[in-house]
Amino acid sequence: MLYPVMPNDYISSLYPVELNDKVEHATVFFILSLLLNRASATRGYRLRNVVALSLFGIVIELIQHFIPHRSASLNDVFANITGILIFQLLFSIYLYLSKRKRIIAQ
């Protein structure tokens, strides 16, 4: 995953469809959150996953500040965290509904 350190013009040439940059950030961190939660989805680990991915997003932005042709953006950090939190919200709803379904089935 070298995208955070590649020049912007090279990265944009890889995608056939241009999406809003913040949507891309949120989508990537949504997917990362999904994958990390598939590996460890207990309640304690979910909190750890949110913190770890949030810190990862912050560190990536800090690194980009020091790379030529890249820039750090606080809005990108917010988009990253938004993607993480949207996944966690949807995952919590899923867990609630599946638990409720099991209770009703008994």
Cα–Cα distance between 74 and 65 in angstroms, integer?
Answer: 11
Q: Of 9, 1, 67, 71, which is closest to residue 29 (Cα–Cα)?
A: 1
pLDDT tens-digit map of 13-62:
555 555 688 999 999 999 999 999 988 867 778 889 999 999 999 999 99
- 102: Cα separation from own chain's centroid: 30
User: Does position 73 have pLDDT exceeding 80, yes or no?
Assistant: yes
* pLDDT for residue 45: 85
